[in-house]
Amino acid sequence: MDKKVENQTQLHKKQVHLFYCAECEDLARKVAAHSDLITLQSINWRNFDDGFPNLYINNAQEMRGQHVAFLAAFSSPGVIFEQLSVIYALPRLFVASFTLVLPFFPTGSFERMEEEGDVATAFTMARILSNIPISRGGPTSLVIYDIHALQERFYFGDHVLPLFETGIPLLKQRLHQLPDSDKIVVAFPDDGAWKRFHKLLDHFPMVVCTKVREGDKRIVRLKEGNPAGCHVVIVDDLVQSGGTLIECQKVLVANGATKVSAYVTHGVFPKRSWERFTHKSDGSGSAFAYFWITDSCPLTVKAIANKRPFEVLSLAGSIADALKI
């Protein structure tokens, strides 16, 4: 390809200006490092004396006619309002298109009403995001990874186009690098995880666990599959306290697993619950050989840095690819 044709091809590729919340700066820089077509842009995240946001979008005038994206992290209710203010403002800058990347949809586990009075906050969040102003190029593209309940994809209105991605390819790539890659068995802690992920991992032998009630307790049991003599990797979309993973690990070892690891796309870990999984300096501690998470929850990534058995599988390359669509 001669230089002129190469330059014309480059011009026709989608150039994206990526804004990001303060929490996502490290991830945003990794995303931009994956492609010369992604340029980082900044926002001044300031507050008035009363605590309410005082925000400024840098280079706003230059965004006219450009493809613009925002990398968000709704890690707590306190940071959602300031980010929504920016998310609603960016499409109105006469941009060519707008993409919102929200790797972790945080209210996803509160998706249904079980009795009158329950509030399905996942539906509320979907309604809020569905009302992002339409840009010059049409509806907002909304990129989410491993949303908790599959039916939540139908919560979004026509003003956004949800693009549901998964972190599982990162896990598969890592598993093939392991010295015992021929001895891997994938385990699901419940039927919900199996439904969500089994088609993406169908070339691995599988084990399915289940939770049963015994009085007031919920006990994890082996439902199907054989973990004996294998390195078993428990796969789920997210972890909070980690209690289910620990109970699942005990059942797998009791049924002959030689080693147990875990993968979750979203390491939420409220109240530093990740601490129950770390290896101690004396070699004691975690019963898990590896614990893989992605960088969808940036605060967790900082907290578990250099702490065994945790490894972070970055979504940066996948996000960069999604922004080019």
How confident is the model over 178-193, as pLDDT tens digits?
Answer: 999 999 999 999 998 9
pLDDT of 260 reads: 97
Same domain, 128 and 37: yes
Beta bridge partners of 310: 291
Give how far Cα 167 sits from Cα of 35, 65, 294, Å.
Answer: 19, 32, 7
pLDDT value for 211: 83
* For the chain, the helix, strand and coil percentages under 3-state DSSP, each to the nearest 5: 35, 30, 35
**Residues 135, 27: one domain?**
yes
For the chain, count helices (H), then strands (E): 9, 15
Task: Kindly state the average pLDDT of the residues 182-205.
Answer: 94
Residue 245 lies in a domain: yes
The answer to whether position 36 is within a domain reads yes
24 lies in the same domain as 141 = yes
Report the C-alpha gap between 225 and 271 in whole angstroms: 34
CATH classification of the domain holding 193 = 3.40.50.2020
Residue 216 lies in a domain: yes
Together in a domain, 196 and 222: yes
In terms of domains, do 94 and 201 share one?
A: no
Asked whether residue 144 is assigned to any structural domain, the reply reads: yes
> Mapping DSSP to helix (H, G, I), strand (E, B) and coil, where does residue 320 land?
helix
Q: Would you say residue 208 has pLDDT above 90?
A: yes
First-to-final CA distance of the chain: 24
Residue 30 lies in a domain: yes
Task: For residue 257, give the nearest of 236, 288, 278 by alpha carbon.
Answer: 288
* pLDDT for 8 beyond 60: no
The residue among 241, 240, 286, 233 whose CA lies nearest residue 263 is 233
Summary mean pLDDT of the chain? 91
DSSP string, 168-195: HHHHHHHHTTSTTGGGEEEEESSHHHHH
CB 248 within 8 A of CB 209: yes
> CA torsion, points 105, 109, 114, 119, in degrees to nearest 10?
-40
Instruction: Tell whether the model's pLDDT for residue 218 goes beyond 80.
Output: no
* 83 lies in the same domain as 148: yes
Picking from 33, 68, 100, 39, the residue whose alpha carbon sits closest to that of residue 316 is 33
Q: What is the domain range of residue 25?
A: 16-165+317-323
More confident residue, 286 or 72: 72
In a domain, 7, yes or no: no
pTM above 0.85, yes or no: yes
Question: What does the pLDDT read at residue 272?
Answer: 95
Of the pLDDT bands very low, low, confident and very high (cuts 50, 70, 90), residue 112 is low
Whether 108 shows a pLDDT value over 60: the answer reads: no
Q: Which helix (H) or strand (E) holds 251?
A: helix 243-254
Helix (H, G, I), strand (E, B) or coil at 158: coil
pLDDT value of position 282: 55
Cα 263 to Cα 84, 102, 227, 231, 306, distances in angstroms:
30, 20, 17, 13, 17
Do residues 118 and 146 both lie within one domain? yes
Evaluate whether residue 309 is within a structural domain: no
Task: Compute the distance between CA of residue 160 and CA of residue 142 in angstroms, rounded to an integer.
Answer: 6
Phi-psi region of 293 (alpha: psi -120 to 50; beta: other; left: phi over 0): beta
pLDDT band for 5, please (50, 70, 90 cuts): very low
pLDDT at 274 over 50: yes
Give the chain's length: 325
Q: Which of 115, 57, 108, 132 is nearest to 296 (CA)?
A: 108
313: which residues sit within 8 A by CB, 6+ positions away? 167, 170, 171, 174, 292, 293, 294, 295
> 224 and 200, same structural domain?
yes
Task: Examine the domain organization and report whether 179 and 256 are in the same domain.
Answer: yes
pLDDT for 250 equals 94
222-239 pLDDT tens trace? 999 999 999 999 999 999
Q: Domains in the chain: how many in total? A: 2
Q: How confident is the model at residue 277 (pLDDT cuts 50, 70, 90)?
A: very high
- Residues 300 and 293: their CA atoms lie apart, in Å, by 9
Q: Which residue is listed with tokens 């009085």?
A: 215
DSSP annotation string for 59-124:
TGGGGTTSEEEEE----SHHHHHHHHHHHHHGGGGT-SEEEEE-S--TTTT----SSTT---HHHH
Q: Same structural domain for residues 59 and 106?
A: yes
Does residue 192 fall inside a structural domain?
yes
Tokens of 44: 């001044």
Return the percentage of the chain with pLDDT > 90, whole number: 78
Under DSSP, the state recorded for 133 is P
Domain match, 68 and 204 both = no
The predicted pLDDT at position 217 comes to: 75
User: Cβ(100)–Cβ(70) under 8 Å?
Assistant: yes
Clarify whether residues 148 and 213 are in a common domain: no
Checking if the pLDDT of 262 tops 80, the result is: yes
